Amino acid sequence: MEFRTAGVIGAGAWGTALAQVCARAGLAVTLQAREAEVIDSIAARRVNEAFLPGVELDPAIRATSDMAELAGCDLILAVPPAQHMRATLAAFAPHARPEVPIVLCSKGIERGSLKLMTDVLSETLPEATAAVLSGPSFAAEVARGLPSAVTLACADGALGEALLNTLSAPAFRPYLATDLIGAEAGGALKNVLAIACGIVEGRQLGRSAHAAVITRGFAEMTRLAVALGGEAETVAGLCGLGDLVLTCSSPQSRNMSLGLALGQGQSVEQALAGKRSVAEGYESAPAVRDLAARLGVEMPIAEITAALLAGETTVDGAIEALLSRPLKAERI
Ligand SMILES: NC(=O)C1=CN([C@@H]2O[C@H](COP(=O)(O)OP(=O)(O)OC[C@H]3O[C@@H](n4cnc5c(N)ncnc54)[C@H](OP(=O)(O)O)[C@@H]3O)[C@@H](O)[C@H]2O)C=CC1
Ligand SMILES: O=C(CO)COP(=O)(O)O
């Protein structure tokens, strides 16, 4: 199995950074963007000024708006915001070939259906083979070539090995896993928890509270992943704990910075106003809450964060609700 060309769908920060990873790995890359502004910026100035400013892009990356130009690619990376994954894959469907693997790189749960991205893929392109790439990786750092390590999950061992070898570079280290559900649950949940951590920071509740939210948030993430059919070991890796630690620790995270703004007293509307980039925790929070209810999984931090984002409680109300929960044994 050899891959020479990659198609990346979605030219936001992460799609563009992954195009850069593929190019560095020696692949010819077609990057599909919806906006003419993004395509022009890459063609004329070798930079995605809208979503990844300040990073010179590899000459092996060619931007297009036309999904049909991905038809000949050996490998597809799907990187739209999670809520647009279904429509994006449906638009790509006429150009898909069953032998071309699709690496899902978005982090979220579809609202309404409460589906993971692998479910969305199997409903839109039933013959496609899925892989999931997820882990602690800020697009701007990865695109600049700073070191990072991620989880690459694929149920087919031989294909997983081939993808691992194809996408790896000296500063980009994918680790192989077979548990796609665990990898997806980790990436989706850490975004909601990062909003909660941002609120703790913004409200200046201290480092101890911050550590408590990460640790108990990790327990929630593990419970949900296992209830969905994933493995606890997977979420203890880069795609779960690793990404939780990163995203909860840096205002570079869009999710954490949303929480910071809320903790400092802004309304959700004020905190999101004028933002072109996606805060997946905000988008997925209602689905996480509904999924937890459907599966009977206790997720107090994620649930109260979803309630806060929906305007059902205040920051003070959320803090009070968490601190007044009955005492219990410490278990995952
Ligand atoms: N940024 C990061 O550091 C990381 C992001 N991710 C994940 O990658 C995914 C994409 O995020 P990111 O690249 O950061 O996005 P950005 O916030 O940088 O950009 C927004 C993206 O949304 C796309 N978009 C907007 N509206 C639509 C629509 N209606 N249909 C399809 N696409 C639309 C834009 O596409 P277009 O350019 O074509 O307009 C653009 O790609 C998310 O799930 C995120 O969690 C994962 C790891 C790291
Ligand atoms: O997923 C990410 C890092 O791994 C990016 O996090 P944000 O979407 O919160 O910026």
DSSP state string for 218-276? HHHHHHHHHHHT--HHHHTSIIIIIHHHHHTT-TTSHHHHHHHHHHTT--HHHHHTT--
Is 136's C-beta closer than 6 angstroms to any atom of ligand 2?
A: yes
- Give the distance (Å) from ligand 1 centre to CA of residue 329: 40
- Give the distance (Å) from ligand 1 centre to CA of residue 300: 28
What DSSP designation does 146 have?
-
Q: Which amino acid is at 77?
A: L
User: Is residue 132 very low, low, confident or very high in pLDDT (cuts 50, 70, 90)?
Assistant: very high
Query: What digits encode the pLDDT tens for the residues 166-194?
Result: 999 989 999 999 999 999 999 999 999 99
10 is in an annotated binding site: no
How confident is the prediction for the chain on average, in pLDDT?
97
Query: What digits encode the pLDDT tens for the residues 25-76?
Result: 999 999 999 999 999 999 999 999 999 999 999 999 999 999 999 999 999 9
Taking the C-alpha atoms of residue 73 and residue 57, their distance in angstroms, rounded to an integer, is 20
DSSP state string for 20-33? HHHHHTT-EEEEE-
- Domain residue spans in the chain? 5-178, 181-323
- Give the distance (Å) from ligand 2 centre to CA of residue 206: 22
pLDDT > 90 fraction of the chain, expressed in percent and rounded: 99
Residue 104 confidence (pLDDT): 98
Q: What is the mean pLDDT of residues 290-294?
A: 98
278 is in an annotated binding site: yes
Residue 136 confidence (pLDDT): 98
Residue 192 main-chain phi, psi, to 5 deg: -65, -40
* Res 1 pLDDT > 90: no
14 is in an annotated binding site: yes
Residue 260 confidence (pLDDT): 98
Is 34's C-beta closer than 6 angstroms to any atom of ligand 1?
A: yes
CATH number, domain 5-178 = 3.40.50.720
Q: Which ligand has its closest atom nearest to the C-alpha of 108?
A: 1
User: Is residue 248 very low, low, confident or very high in pLDDT (cuts 50, 70, 90)?
Assistant: very high
DSSP state string for 80-93? S-GGGHHHHHHHHG
* Res 128 pLDDT > 90: yes
Q: Please indicate whether residue 275 is annotated as part of the active site.
A: no
Residue 264 confidence (pLDDT): 98
Candidates 252, 255, 258, 278: which one to mutate for ligand 2, based on the most atoms within 8 Å of Cβ? 255
Ligand 1 atom with least separation from CA of 253: 3
What is the predicted ipTM? Answer: 0.98
181-323: what fold?
N-(1-d-carboxylethyl)-l-norvaline Dehydrogenase; domain 2 (1.10.1040)
Residue in 115, 190, 275, 328 annotated catalytic: 190
